[in-house]
Structure 1
Amino acid sequence: MLPPDSSLHIVAGFLGGSGDYRTAKALTRDIYEHLLSVDGPDHPDTLAIQHNLAHLMKTDETG
């Protein structure tokens, strides 16, 4: 369970930006699953993290 108002998405962004896609993807997936269970699939925060996760997955595949 993530703490309320977690800033971990910022950490995930820095990790992805530094090229550590594996860790960034794992952290973003954890954040997404948390938001999905707490806020639901249509909440703007859930959708934003889902977008970030999709971007990380595509970036990781293409290098």
Structure 2
Amino acid sequence: MNKEDFCFPRDFFYINKDILKNQFEIQKALTIIALILWTIQGFLCMVGYYITLPFILLHKLCENRCYY
């Protein structure tokens, strides 16, 4: 598996801070709710990714051996 293919936990929680600051000044409550939902979504995607990662690695290993 290449280093570019692997996702780190920080990849699931990336937020552009400049946009967040601008939106927070405009709508505080909606921005807080969106930030909470973004964090929950990032956590669920991260857990799903790391649960399925062994199957992805096994599939790539088997595929490489088949075409060797």
TM-score of Structure 1 vs Structure 2, range by shorter chain: 0.3 to 0.5
Q: Normalising by structure 1, what TM-score?
A: 0.38
Q: Normalising by structure 2, what TM-score?
A: 0.36
Larger radius of gyration: 2
Structure of higher RCO (CA pairs closer than 8 Å, 6+ residues apart): 2
